């Protein structure tokens, strides 16, 4: 009987911690819409002037086109948005969406899910 009580108490503690994490918005985030993607690109990339954005269907990545023809790649990194300006975008279409090579090993390739045209 004592082991069962300990099990229930542990389970309750885990559920309470999960609830607290959710209420504090800890964990995964997402890019809500094109306007947010454009704001993030402009805030993180000096001199970038966003014209339009394509946000993945899961909100985990976005391509932002600048007025000067440049392109920014955004991806979620935990709850934060990471952004990179792409000098020579290498974009490949897959069944899931566009796979964009950032040109940086640490940033990697990013899947913009549900988007099938870069323009």
pLDDT tens digits, 15-56: 888 777 767 766 668 999 999 999 999 999 999 999 999 999
What backbone torsions phi and psi does residue 69 show, to the nearest 5 degrees?
95, -5
CA–chain centroid gap for 5, Å, is 41
Class of residue 29 by CB neighbours under 10 A (exposed 0-12, middle 13-18, buried 19+) = middle
Query: pLDDT, tens digit, for every residue of 95-119?
Result: 999 999 998 999 999 999 999 988 7
pTM here? 0.77
Give the closest residue to 68 by CA, choosing from 83, 48, 85, 87: 48
* Strand 97-101, strand 61-66: pairing: unpaired
């Amino acid at each position: 009987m004592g082991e069962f009580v300990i099990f229930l108490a542990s389970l309750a503690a885990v559920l309470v911690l999960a609830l607290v994490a959710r209420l504090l918005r800890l964990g995964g985030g997402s890019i809500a819409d094109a306007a947010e993607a454009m704001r993030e690109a402009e805030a993180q990339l000096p001199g970038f002037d966003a014209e339009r954005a394509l946000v993945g269907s899961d909100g985990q990545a976005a391509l932002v086109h600048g007025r000067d023809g440049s392109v920014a790649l955004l991806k979620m990194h935990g709850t934060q948005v990471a952004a990179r300006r792409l000098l020579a975008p290498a974009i490949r279409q897959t069944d899931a969406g566009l796979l964009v090579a950032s040109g940086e090993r640490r940033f990697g390739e990013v899947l913009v899910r549900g988007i099938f045209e870069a323009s």
